[in-house]
Structure 1
Amino acid sequence: MPVHVLIAINVSKWFLKAVNKIRRSYLWKGRKEANGGCCLVAWDKVQRPLDLGGLGIPDLQVMGWALQIRWLWLRKTDTNKPWIGFDIPVHPNAVAMFEIAMQSLVGNGNNTFFWKDR
């Protein structure tokens, strides 16, 4: 459920901390709450991909940015969708990553913004 929320809104740090606390507790104890010495590995290491020694549990903040970048991509490339006109708030980091990664060809100029696109 938090994944769908991450697409539509910029969640605050306290929300991410609360969800991560529940995820950590479930992983280490199988309950909603776990205290101190139950955690065997640092949460940053647990969130690493499998090939880097982690458990592959996604970082919700980074995943939210990735989903928002996807939203920006669809808004830019597929303008026929009925939800294109929705004003979804996008985190500034997601906008910066999108602008760095995006490259436009001028073509007929319909989908290229002269002052914003590379």
Structure 2
Amino acid sequence: MARSGRLVWIKSVLRAVPIYSMMADSLPPWAIKEIDTICRKFLWVSKDASVRGKCMVAWKTACRPTEMGGLGITDLKLAGYALQTRWLWLQKTDSARAWSELPINVDKEVQAFFRTSTYTELGDGANSLFWDDRWLHQTAPSDIAPNLVQLVSRRIRSRMTVRQGLANM
């Protein structure tokens, strides 16, 4: 098989298979490294042999988009971050989905990215968390008063909505 055909296989099959598991949970670094090794060997030598001295482009460069000089191979770590961020977004915006209430474990980087990239426009306050959502001038109360938030139990922080918090005042 030509190298261009192997590249198509990598993009459409070998990189697509782990996507479903990456939506709900991040792949461990060793798994990403192993998948990258398999793909790298398949692309450059088309067999399970050493690729030393046979790689035409560094793997990080191959994983760049074609517009940036790469081969357009998906970076699994970044794809995992994007999928988990999308899951958080859908949990926040589409509570009618059956899986929206399922808790998922996301990386700290993903949670930080999501929190800094989004804010809440407050309607009736029933869908916004009082302590953790950025509803107060695009800032979360936990960012304004971190010492005060530590006095609040995790259970209350994860459940109390803005409507409930303002009704108790």
**Given the two structures, how large is their TM-score scaled by the length of structure 2?**
0.66
Aligned partner of 1:31 in structure 2 is 47
Contact 1:69 1:95 in 2 (8 A): yes
Higher alpha-carbon Rg: 2
Alignment coverage as a number of residue pairs: 118
* CA positional deviation for 1:76: 0.4
**Given the two structures, how large is their TM-score scaled by the length of structure 1?**
0.93
Aligned partner of 1:96 in structure 2 is 112
Aligned-residue sequence identity (percent) comes to 39
Structure possessing the higher relative contact order (Cα contacts under 8 Å, 6 or more residues apart): 1
* CA positional deviation for 1:12: 1.0
Aligned partner of 1:67 in structure 2 is 83
Matches within 5 A, 1:1-118: 1-118=17-134
Contact 1:45 1:54 in 2 (8 A): yes
Consecutive unaligned residues in structure 2, runs of 5 or more: 1-16, 135-169
Cα RMSD of the aligned pairs, angstroms, is 1.2
Contact 1:50 1:56 in 2 (8 A): yes
> Which 4+ runs in 1 deviate beyond 6 A?
none
Contact 1:28 1:34 in 2 (8 A): no
Comparing 28-37 with 16-25, greater Cα deviation is found at 28-37
Consecutive unaligned residues in structure 1, runs of 5 or more: none
Contact 2:44 2:51 in 1 (8 A): no
SS of 2:53 mapped into structure 1: helix
